[in-house]
Chains A and B, each alone.
Chain A
């Protein structure tokens, strides 16, 4: 009897907290399907009496969000590819290919982790202005090219590849390029997916840097466009909710599909510390 009561309270509490947590997302979907002006009444409706897709239509036809969706998609994809290219090779080099100074460089990089990215943002803006990358999509990509955290995430996983395996390949006459591409990379597949998901979500959700570097509406990413839209269209809650769905849905789906990889990345990053 006592365990029944305890089980009931534990699961009841979980169900209640989950319902409260998911409610704002549920309301976002629901309100995005309401005809314009019908969500701002009292009592506030929970779901649309006459569901419609007109907000989504408005979003693409008049608010120009289709273009912004492509901007976000392009930036997040390019950031993912480039950061894989840069960080994975550096992570492998630091783990297995000792070169002069590699130890001290790693110490400097770890030290750099305490400096918040915002310190670099103001001069970075000036540098990009000088080389003509302000108000361009490549300018948004710059901070995503290489990252200390990603390099160490990879390094930690490469460390689990046995040295004997690499030595055996060398004895068989394999070159360093072949070892990296044919022996090491295939073994790293899970961590590559983890890194890709992290970078894609990070670049897609990023706000401050694109807000700083972009000043032309048609180049905006979805979060920047949504923030500026929400300042102009405060009254159009249904339209704004459709915009929020367009922004949130892709990353939410990506997370649900690749959840295992995402959580694994968090664990190695955090628990081993």
Chain B
């Protein structure tokens, strides 16, 4: 799906989140020179087009008692990494699952899973369960617990709308 300048402007405006007012789509549109129907239509199209993977309440794990999070990584041969990734990505206890390039010699791992749990022991148990269930014991592996959060905000992908486009 190709995004227009107006889509990008909307993406930018949504970075702060939907305002808590009775007609939030109208309020977002008012900043952009769009009416409510256009805002809703563009969000709908981006959702249907897969640009928006999820639209809804975005919670913060840590504040809700999921105090431990670990980036669990494996080094898996290229021939099978996608298949293993798909299986891990479908596991309900995996929050995110990505393939990324290794960077030798510092970083040999190419498959990344984020795991959240109420405490460290819970996360360790989840990881051990994944290793058993998906037979990952033979692959080099590391679990990087986070010890400190320096920043967590929404992504800022959007571009502000050009004035001429806003006036269209």
Q: Do A and B come from one complex?
A: no
Interfacial residues, chain B to chain A (CB-CB below 8 A): none
